[in-house]
Amino acid sequence: MLAPMNSHTMPEGRQYFLDWLRILAFALLVPYHVGMLYVSWGWHVKSATLYPGLEPFMMLSAPWRLGLLFLIAGAASQGLMQRGAGFVRSRSKRLLWPLLFGMLVIVPPQAYFEVVGKLQYAGSYGDFMRLYLQAYHGFCNQDGCLTLPTWNHLWFLPYLWVYSLLGYGLLKTWPRLSDAAGRWMARPGGAWRVLGLPALPLMAARSLVGLFPSTHNLSWDWYNHAQYGWLFLLGLLAARSELWALARRYRRLALALAAVSWLLIQLYFHHYQDLAPPDALRWAQRGLYGAMQWWCLVAICGFAKQHLDFDHRWRAALNSAIFCVYILHQTLIVLLSRALLPLQLPAAVEGPLLIVLTLGLSLLGYLALRRVPVLNLLMGVPGAKTPAQQAPARASTMAQPSASASS
């Protein structure tokens, strides 16, 4: 069992704002991926009419959306590790079964409609699945070949599993490491400690973006590992330190820095859209982008700590449901968008309708799956509790470790 925390750490009690942030961050994936239908960036399926004007608004969340999930997951992992044995087994059960089931059942419709739309594949879904399970490598165009089987949007699960195991090994080897991080956070000079030093690894990571473009293939994705691995580690080591209090204290400054940085970066991309920037300016932009990523996270966590650190009767239910929503949402978006094609709805109607239908069907799926013993394991859904089980669970809510929102 990991060593207990020392006296400098935050008081016992669940950090409810992390639960709410996790819920909001996963829910944000639905409108973001609906938006991918309409922008010029590559995606699995596309609308007949594109609206590049949406891209600056979608880029508002790009620097922090996924990083926030890894930061929260690191904090959650520390809380789970503090409970004692079984961490590796529970993380593997929670993440790997949904990943395998998702790759076999949930994700394939996305790949099927991708090859239908991009390559005019005329085979049936059954024909496609035979190729899918054989790891067929012949679906190719000028951009490359489709890798099958694929995990598509479920890439978050293997990354989180690997980071969790590495983090567990790190704290088993050096059990006082998070304690040392907490003491460091508690030292004077809070602004630099929360706004400056933690941003440096993200600034360095951004320098890898040109060498290692994002692939989500786990084995050769070093830019993403550099940024997401660092944020997971930071959440793991600093979850019970002064980090959240410092974020709350400097939230307005972090927001101002992030806003100015985002504006400068948008001006940079607009000015050099068709020009090659000077090398020094390119590197400066990348460094600023990395710092902006962290300042966004500090501002978000700080404002959430100030305004969302409370319990509510919906919190536990939404926290349980959001993982299922994450697994189902992208396939539902693809299927619903294809089903709505004959209606030829304008994007202003189709987009919001897709968001509502996707969220609604995902939540209905959660309510149904939680009552099916095998499927709830495969989808990472907590089973429905009997009334006798619910009472002690409610009584013990306040005693749960801080930052224990499961991821």
Quick: pLDDT tens for 219-228: 999 999 999 9
Task: Kindly tell me if the per-residue pLDDT of 388 is higher than 80.
Answer: no
Q: Is the pTM of this model over 0.85?
A: yes
What is the pLDDT at residue 190? Answer: 77
Question: Per-residue confidence at 3, pLDDT binned at 50, 70, 90?
Answer: very low
Question: Per-residue confidence at 397, pLDDT binned at 50, 70, 90?
Answer: very low
Please tell me the least confidently modeled range out of 79-88, 207-216, 253-262, 319-328: 79-88
What mean pLDDT is predicted for residues 94-113? 97
Tell me the residue length of the chain.
407
- Count how many domains the chain has: 1
Task: Kindly tell me if the per-residue pLDDT of 297 is higher than 70.
Answer: yes
Task: Kindly tell me if the per-residue pLDDT of 404 is higher than 80.
Answer: no
Domain containing 287 equals 16-107+151-383
What mean pLDDT is predicted for residues 59-82? 92
What mean pLDDT is predicted for residues 250-267? 96
What is the pLDDT at residue 10? Answer: 44
Give bridge partners of residue 145 from the DSSP assignment.
140
pLDDT > 90: what percent of the chain? 76
Task: Kindly tell me if the per-residue pLDDT of 267 is higher than 50.
Answer: yes
Task: Kindly tell me if the per-residue pLDDT of 172 is higher than 80.
Answer: yes
What mean pLDDT is predicted for residues 363-377? 93
What is the pLDDT at residue 210? Answer: 87
Residue 247 included in any domain: yes
Comparison of pLDDT for 188 and 50, the residue scoring more = 50
What mean pLDDT is predicted for residues 56-76? 93
Query: CB under 8 Å to 256, separation ≥6 — which residues?
Result: none
What is the pLDDT at residue 359? Answer: 97
Max distance between CA atoms of the chain, in angstroms, equals 67
Question: Per-residue confidence at 383, pLDDT binned at 50, 70, 90?
Answer: low
Question: Per-residue confidence at 27, pLDDT binned at 50, 70, 90?
Answer: very high
- Separation CA 178–CA 87 (nearest Å): 17
pLDDT > 70: what percent of the chain? 90
Residue 124 included in any domain: no
What is the pLDDT at residue 366? Answer: 95
Please tell me the least confidently modeled range out of 10-24, 53-67, 248-262, 291-305: 10-24
What is the pLDDT at residue 84? Answer: 64
Residue 135 included in any domain: no
Residue 120 included in any domain: no
What is the pLDDT at residue 14? Answer: 82
What is the pLDDT at residue 9? Answer: 41
Residue 5 included in any domain: no
Residue 158 included in any domain: yes
Residue 321 included in any domain: yes
What is the pLDDT at residue 31? Answer: 96
Comparison of pLDDT for 128 and 82, the residue scoring more = 128
pLDDT in tens, 70-79: 999 999 998 8
Question: Per-residue confidence at 56, pLDDT binned at 50, 70, 90?
Answer: confident
> Whole-number mean pLDDT of the chain?
89
Task: Kindly tell me if the per-residue pLDDT of 151 is higher than 80.
Answer: yes
- Separation CA 339–CA 241 (nearest Å): 49
What is the pLDDT at residue 239? Answer: 85
What mean pLDDT is predicted for residues 215-234? 95
What is the pLDDT at residue 143? Answer: 83
Residue 142 included in any domain: no
What mean pLDDT is predicted for residues 353-378? 95
